[in-house]
Amino acid sequence: MFKIVVLVKAVPDPKRASEIKIDPRTKTLTRADVPLVMNQLDKHAMESALALKSRVGGEITAISMGPPPAAAILKECLAMGADHGVLLSDRAFGGADAYATAYTLAKGIEKVGSADLVLCGMASSDGSTEWVGSELSVFLDLPVVTGVKEIIGSSEPWWQVKAHIDNGYRELKVKLPAVLAVTRELNTPRNISFSGIIKARKKEITVWDFDALGVPESSLGLAGSPTIISDLRVSESKREVEMIEGTREEKAEMLVQKFADAGTF
Amino acid sequence: MGGSTGPVWVFAEQSDGSVLPVSLELTGQARKLADELGTSLEVIFLGDAVRENTQILFNAGADKVYLGEHPDLKFYQSERYMQIIVKLAQEHQPEIFLLGSTATGKELAPLVAAKLKTGLTAHCIDLTLDQEKRLEQIIPAYGGLISIVCPEKRPQMATIAKGVFLKPDTSEPKQGELVLLEIGNEQDQRIELLNVVYEETEGVPLESAAVVVAGGAGAKDLEGWQQIVDLADEMGAALGSTRPPVDEGWVELDRMIGQSGKMVAPELYIGVGLSGELQHMVGITGAKLMVAVNSEPKAPVFEQVDYGIVDDCREFLPVLIENIKAYKADKA
Ligand SMILES: Cc1cc2nc3c(=O)[nH]c(=O)nc-3n(C[C@H](O)[C@H](O)[C@H](O)COP(=O)(O)OP(=O)(O)OC[C@H]3O[C@@H](n4cnc5c(N)ncnc54)[C@H](O)[C@@H]3O)c2cc1C
Ligand SMILES: Nc1ncnc2c1ncn2[C@@H]1O[C@H](COP(=O)(O)O)[C@@H](O)[C@H]1O
């Protein structure tokens, strides 16, 4: 059977992510209660998996690494139509940089069993390294294409894809199994239906911890991360603002004058 | 000590054979890092018949250029490029390895880093050495700046956007060692590049614009966004944006300014309906005059610009556009 794995990340709601700030005095992060949501681009990856499944058949497993509340986004995947949801969750996975994240996800994918296709988002809204798909492909020894905006799948092992480059795109043929990191142009994610929610309720999320993955602790989480944060600083602006005040009309007039003075027109 | 530190490396990306500006900028910065470390600066340059374009890399400060020429290398191809670089890195053990934050760099860098089992930092806005001579990779996050280091693994790898570092002076011819790489004919077993298509972008390009009008989430919807587009048109400005309008699909990704977008340095920047999040603002530190329009008097953007206007952009922009039209008509 054609097996698709989709990587989904639980991220702080981007609309409220700016509430998490560096405290200038303690140089630590202020813990705001920002809810976790599914990373937007990962919804496009899920949608792509569902569309492919309806064309070539198969089975979809959504995988996420994150804290226990991340299970909610896997439930969302099930409601969209995924067959299984797997959460990789353990304190030992915490503090992972992109490398350790990709490594842990790769181990999770291996445990799911041989995937024919791994789909992930091009970037997460919080980490936004854009590395995870590529690094994971190395750990799984699979080819990768990033920036994917069109997939022409078939029952043959060589698939054709279109992917972004600077100022254009490239067309490639990639041999499955492969990793594809997708962009928002690929599709429009479906809304979750009521019957989907009911179906998802009956399904369980599989949780794999450190013991379940069976890899040395030194390669996971903070311990397995080559990079570390060495300093946090507050940045200071060098500009002094002058507020332009008055009625709307006056403000507009004064601003146009400032533009003119600066030689804009 | 003497010679124990590995070289500093830069990947020089080419388009149509010419070295990209970002690669020259990185070579310039890498020169400083190499001097501070007392080591050499080496550049990797891959392409098809690009030898005549190598000199500029020496002029920019490279001590050595590893040149790989082959028809297969005309365009970036992940597996070929990765294999060549990984093999070379295993032989020469670089201390630092920098790549441009281009579509190519963003795919190639993590492939190489994972193969070499080392760390990699995305979207750096500065690179310095700390007291222990470790590469300090600065990125904006959480309303401040964080420094990232890679204490044990080598090379220390980072990707950097165009415009973060100044372009070095390359007018003076300099000498360096050219090392020709042997590139075999092996076929890629898993990926085949069929075609590369370049597309014209619409509107005034961001990078060279004298005026930039950038919009943010405060536009609220496509209709509100259209007003920002109209303002840009009226001013002959390049349209820019923060992340949310891109996510909403109001504007293309190539219009995003900031840490993971573009770096711009216009004469005039007008930020409309955006909060002033550092990840956006680091993209415009080079602007001469800066103006912000935001409905919230306490918006952080007002601490980072020269002129501020508190107003609802959806009400204010039509009035502003009318005033600009009137001013222009007056002058004409
Ligand atoms: C690793 C990483 C990299 C990132 N890279 C970038 C990057 O390169 N570029 C980038 O832009 N972002 C980037 N971001 C996102 C960034 O953190 C912010 O989320 C984003 O810049 C906020 O955009 P905004 O100001 O438009 O939205 P918000 O922060 O939501 O601000 C909207 C503003 O609009 C104002 N407003 C609301 N209504 C109105 C109205 N009617 N009239 C006028 N004003 C109004 C509000 O007061 C508010 O200040 C990155 C994030 C991460 C984690
Ligand atoms: N913790 C995670 N769990 C599941 N998928 C992830 C995780 N982190 C990153 N990804 C996937 O990798 C993509 C790129 O993330 P990033 O490299 O952080 O920009 C995301 O869109 C996800 O599909």
Domains and CATH numbers, chain B: 8-180 (3.40.50.620), 211-331 (3.40.50.1220)
Say whether pLDDT at B223 is over 60: yes
Whether the predicted pLDDT of B188 surpasses 80: no
CA atoms within 13 A on the CB side of B251: 30
Give the mean pLDDT of B73-87.
96
Question: Cβ B197–A171 below 8 Å, yes or no?
Answer: yes
Residue B16, SS3? Answer: coil
The CATH homologous superfamily to which domain A3-219 belongs is HUPs (3.40.50.620)
Q: What is the mean pLDDT of residues B171-185?
A: 96
Residues in chain B with CB shorter than 8 Å from the CB of A241 are 302-308
pLDDT digits (tens, 9 = 90+) for A32-67: 789 999 999 999 999 999 999 999 899 999 999 999
Q: Which two tokens stand for residue A125?
A: 């809204």
How far apart, in whole angstroms, are the C-alpha atoms of residue B139 and residue B145?
6
| Nearest-CA distance B181 → chain A (Å) | 24
Cα torsion A66, A69, A71, A76 to 10°: value is -120
Q: Which residues contact B167 (CB under 8 A, 6 or more apart)?
A: B21, B24, B25, B28
pLDDT digits (tens, 9 = 90+) for B8-67: 999 999 999 999 999 999 999 999 999 999 999 999 999 999 999 999 999 999 999 999
Nearest CB to A241 within list B75, B130, B302: B302
Mean pLDDT of B217-222: 97
Question: Could you tell me the CA-to-CA distances from B272 to A122, B72, B301, B309 in Å, in that order?
Answer: 27, 46, 10, 10
**Average pLDDT for A80-109:** 96
Q: What is the mean pLDDT of residues B278-295?
A: 95
pLDDT reading at B1 higher than 50: no
Distance from the Cα of A204 to chain B's closest Cα (Å) equals 31
Which ligand is closest in space to the CA of residue A73?
2
Nearest protein Cα to ligand 2, atom 10? A9
> Residue B187 carries which DSSP code?
P
Query: Average model confidence (pLDDT) for chain A?
Result: 94
> Mind spelling out the 3-state secondary structure of A34-45?
CCEEECHHHHHH
Spatial separation of the C-alpha atoms in residues B277 and A112, rounded to whole Å:
40
Q: Confidence band (pLDDT; 50, 70, 90) for A181?
A: very high
Q: Which two tokens stand for residue A51?
A: 């569309």
CB contact burial A111-128 (16+ within 10 A = b; e otherwise): bbeebbbbbbbbbbbbbb
The nearest CA of chain B is from the CA of A58 a distance in Å of 22
| Domain range summary for chain A, segments of one domain joined by + | 3-219
Instruction: Using the predicted structure, report yes or no on whether residue A24 has a pLDDT greater than 80.
Output: no
Mutation for B interface: A37, A142, A166, most B CBs within 10 A: A166
Instruction: Report d(CA B79, CA B191) in Å as an integer.
Output: 8
Q: How sure is the predictor about A30, in pLDDT bands with cuts at 50, 70 and 90?
A: confident
Q: Look up residue A77 and give its amino acid.
A: C
* pLDDT higher than 70, residue B2: no
- Please give the single-letter amino acid code of residue B192: E
| Section B298-310 average pLDDT | 96
3-class DSSP string for A178-193: EEEEECHHHCCCCCCC
pLDDT value at residue B3: 52
